[in-house]
Amino acid sequence: MSTSVVAERSVKRVGQTVGVLLLIHLAAGLTVPFIMLFPLIAPPGFLANGAGIATQVRAAVLLLFAGSAIAIGIVCTAWPVFRQYSSALALWLLSLAVASFSLQAVDNAHLLSMLSLSQEYARAGSDKADFFQALAGVVGSARRWAHYSFLLVVGSWIFLFHTVLYRFRLVPRALAAFGLVGSLLQIAGVTLRALFGYPPETRLAMPLAPAYVALAVWLMVKGFDEGHCPLEAQAHGVEVTRS
């Protein structure tokens, strides 16, 4: 069997592994915030709700750590392929993945602070309700801005990831373009609106989920497309090795 055939099979396996990791990344990103953490922030708010779901909040924090680490795992898995096209873009992807993990750690610390404040509030009773309400406003605001900072970085990582796939034709360009549009809508409609003081428009973030699923399923079945590898790499001045 020729070395080129072996290399193509290896690239396909890398793409299939990335597809599985993308699906897990999406599942963690949807399940933890919108299911596990929803009772924490639902009315009447985390101050009243947190103490009653302490174990669930701690489990959610651990899953958020694991979910954000998956982005690093995706880049590390795809690194042998991506670096053949552009080492700079591969390094940017890794840097954004590490930055998003770090910001998720900050976000998690704020979630645990919310839990601790709720537990102290439950022990104190109604005697110091006004004091705890004031603290809740500060702690809640700190967590909100940490969360939107994380969303900005992870959204940028998703955008750059799809940019690499689109530019080097590692998947059908229509599929990569779907992800590019979805990530831009999420950044503009949720993150940037919130950072500029406007209510987030969550409906604009909805196309990103099916784009993620479509890409993950395609990769799990087809893997990365190496058919354009020599042509694309030469066009961008990148030496591609098949060994």
Degrees (nearest 5) of the Cα angle 56, 100, 92?
155
> Average per-residue pLDDT in the chain?
89
Q: Is residue 200 part of a domain?
A: no
34-73 residue pLDDT tens: 999 999 999 999 999 999 999 999 999 999 999 999 999 9
Residue 79: pLDDT over 90: yes
Does any domain span residue 207? Answer: no
pLDDT digits (tens, 9 = 90+) for 99-137: 999 999 999 999 999 999 999 999 987 778 889 999 999
pLDDT value of position 191? 95
Of residues 106 and 229, more confidently modeled: 106
Indicate whether 62 belongs to any domain: yes
pLDDT 10s digits, 148-193: 999 999 999 999 999 999 999 999 999 999 999 999 999 999 999 9
> Number of folded domains in the chain?
1
Q: Report how far apart, in Å, the C-alpha atoms of 173 and of each of 188, 192, 215, 223 are.
A: 22, 26, 11, 14
Q: Is residue 185 part of a domain?
A: no
Would you state the pLDDT for residue 146? 96
- Helix H or strand E encompassing 56: helix 54-85
Interatomic CA distance for residues 86 and 237, integer angstroms: 9
Name the residue range of residue 82's domain: 3-148+219-235
pLDDT for position 83: 93
Whether the pLDDT of residue 243 is over 90: the answer is no
DSSP states of 203-231? GGGTTHHHHHHHHHHHHHHH----TTHHH
pLDDT band at 226 (very low <50, low <70, confident <90, very high): confident
Q: How far apart are CA 81 and CA 60, in angstroms?
A: 33
Residue 75 near residue 94, CB atoms below 8 Å: yes
Is 191 domain-assigned?
no
pLDDT of residue 93: 98
The answer to the question of residue 242 being in a domain is no
Instruction: Categorize the per-residue pLDDT at 7 as very low, low, confident or very high, splitting at 50, 70 and 90.
Output: low
Per-residue model confidence (pLDDT) at position 221: 95
pTM to 2 decimal places? 0.88
> What is the token pair recorded at 170?
């590692």
In a domain, 80, yes or no: yes
Query: Which residue from 100, 94, 105, 190 is spatially nearest to 153, judged by alpha carbons?
Result: 100
Token pair listed for 22: 């993308």
